[in-house]
């Protein structure tokens, strides 16, 4: 997922629940005056190299997840590793959910400038692609959700069981390898016009290094040992990145296939309660598609949504304003009768 070639598909690594800034505003702007460097298609060789790197970034963390239980069983897991992995998961994960998704994609609240930069940086640590491409893909997802044009609908191949199995794979991972690019000038003219966002977007390759290496450095210094650096790298980098990838991708695949649909939306989005904690509230995906700009996705009692709690804290600290909190009458108006 290096993004030194801005037009490459691999820059689009992940997907998630995102969309236009509002349910009724599928595309922001439409300006063609904004420079869009994704318009130049990459060469065939470049594409192959990009796809090989993308494959490595998906496969290696996944193999680490498979190896996690035997490694833990063999005492390759200490409490330092748990702390480092959890903190990095929370920072990168909320960078995606609070920053990339609820703020930059949907405008659910307005952060001040330092917070805006911090959120874009934190989300980049998830290694789900650079911020501008991520937002472009997710606005397109909302514009066409579960219809032709959606970059990652599990219903792409039809409704039979074999078609859905194939579609789930596509929605989860396959779409990353699609050569079709989301036109950025059309979907994210606001971010392309924002110097801070362009800088963080361009810094994505450097942030990959930070995300991959920082846990090892912290783990080594904390324990003053190479062993501590190695186990922190395994848990805090590989397993953490792999787990967050698959949780985010599950919003695209699982949360558009199974679950409860208490709200009216024009797609197959669903609420999946057992993903709520790991997805930091994003798996209340049916409500999200019913009301995309809402800052809280878990609107009903008992629906855990740590991302909403963090936005609440930002608001209380004076770092965020214009938060679009759910209003009971608006939410009730969207319930299925």
* Residues 263-322, interacting with Zn ion (CB under 5 A): 269
3-class SS letters over the chain: CCCCCCCCHHHHCCCCCCCCCECCECCCCCCCCCCCHHHCCCCHHHHHHHHHHHHHHHHHHHHHHHHHHHHHHCCCCCHHHHHHHHHHHHHHHHHHHHHHHHHHHCCCCEECHHHHHHHHHHHHCCCCCCHHHHHHHHHHHHHHCCCCCCCCCCCCCCCCHHHHHHHHHHHHCHHHHCCCCCCHHHHCHHHHCCHHHHHHHHCHHHHHHHHHHHHHHHHHHHHCCHHHHHHHHHHHHHHHHHHHHHHHHHHHCHHHCCCECCECCCCCCCECHHHCCCCCCCCEHHHHHHCCCCCCCCCCCCCCCHHHHHHHHHHHCCCEECCCCCCHHHHHHCECC
- Total residues binding Zn ion (CB under 5 A): 4
Candidates 10, 12, 13, 18; binder of Zn ion (CB under 5 A) is 18
Question: Is 17 an interacting residue with respect to Zn ion (CB under 5 A)?
Answer: yes
The interface region with Zn ion, picked from 14-22, 46-54, 205-213, 311-319 by CB under 5 A, is 14-22
* Residues 252-271, interacting with Zn ion (CB under 5 A): 269
CB of 64 or CB of 295, closer to Zn ion: 295
Candidates 7, 10, 11, 19; binder of Zn ion (CB under 5 A) is 19
The interface region with Zn ion, picked from 17-25, 40-48, 65-73, 77-85 by CB under 5 A, is 17-25
Could you tell me the smallest distance in angstroms from the CB atom of residue 274 to Zn ion?
17
Minimal CB distance to Zn ion: which residue?
Answer: 18
Could you tell me the smallest distance in angstroms from the CB atom of residue 142 to Zn ion?
6
CB of 11 or CB of 307, closer to Zn ion: 307
Could you tell me the smallest distance in angstroms from the CB atom of residue 18 to Zn ion?
4
CB of 18 or CB of 212, closer to Zn ion: 18
**Count of CB atoms situated within 10 Å of the CB of 225:** 12
Question: Is 98 an interacting residue with respect to Zn ion (CB under 5 A)?
Answer: no
Question: Is 151 an interacting residue with respect to Zn ion (CB under 5 A)?
Answer: no
* Residues 44-63, interacting with Zn ion (CB under 5 A): none
Could you tell me the smallest distance in angstroms from the CB atom of residue 91 to Zn ion?
20
Matching residue, tokens 């397109």: 140
Could you tell me the smallest distance in angstroms from the CB atom of residue 17 to Zn ion?
4
Could you tell me the smallest distance in angstroms from the CB atom of residue 221 to Zn ion?
38
CB of 134 or CB of 233, closer to Zn ion: 134
Residues that bind Zn ion in the complex, under the rule CB under 5 A: 17-19, 269
């Amino acid at each position: 997922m290096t993004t030194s070639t801005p037009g490459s598909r691999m820059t689009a690594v992940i997907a998630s629940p995102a969309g236009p800034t509002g349910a009724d505003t599928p595309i922001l702007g439409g300006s063609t005056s904004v420079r869009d460097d994704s318009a130049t298609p990459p060469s065939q060789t470049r594409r192959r190299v990009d796809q090989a790197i993308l494959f490595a970034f998906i496969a290696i963390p996944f193999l680490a997840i498979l190896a996690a239980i035997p490694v833990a069983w063999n005492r390759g897991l200490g409490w330092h590793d748990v702390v480092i992995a959890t903190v990095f998961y929370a920072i990168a994960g909320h960078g995606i959910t609070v920053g990339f998704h609820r703020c930059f994609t949907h405008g659910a609240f307005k952060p001040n400038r330092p917070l805006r930069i911090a959120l874009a940086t934190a989300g980049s640590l998830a290694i789900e692609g650079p911020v501008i491409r991520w937002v472009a893909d997710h606005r397109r997802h909302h514009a066409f959700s579960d219809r032709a044009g959606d970059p990652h609908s599990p219903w792409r191949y039809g409704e039979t069981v074999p078609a859905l199995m194939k579609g789930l794979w596509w929605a989860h991972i396959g779409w990353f390898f699609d050569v079709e690019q989301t036109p950025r000038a059309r979907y994210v003219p606001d971010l392309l016009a924002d110097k801070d966002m362009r800088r963080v977007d361009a810094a994505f390759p450097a942030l990959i290094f930070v995300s991959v290496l920082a846990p090892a450095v912290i783990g080594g210094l904390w324990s003053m040992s190479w062993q501590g650096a190695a186990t922190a790298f395994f848990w805090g980098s590989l397993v953490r990145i792999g787990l967050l990838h698959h949780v985010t991708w599950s919003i695209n695949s699982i949360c558009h296939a199974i679950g409860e649909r208490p709200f009216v939306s024009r797609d197959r989005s669903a609420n999946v309660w057992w993903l709520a904690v790991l997805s930091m509230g994003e798996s209340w995906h049916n409500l999200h598609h019913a009301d995309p700009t809402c800052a809280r996705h878990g609107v009903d009692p008992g629906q855990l949504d740590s991302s909403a709690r963090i936005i609440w804290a930002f608001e209380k600290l004076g770092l965020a304003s214009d938060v679009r909190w759910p209003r009971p009458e608006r939410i009730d108006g969207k319930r299925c009768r």
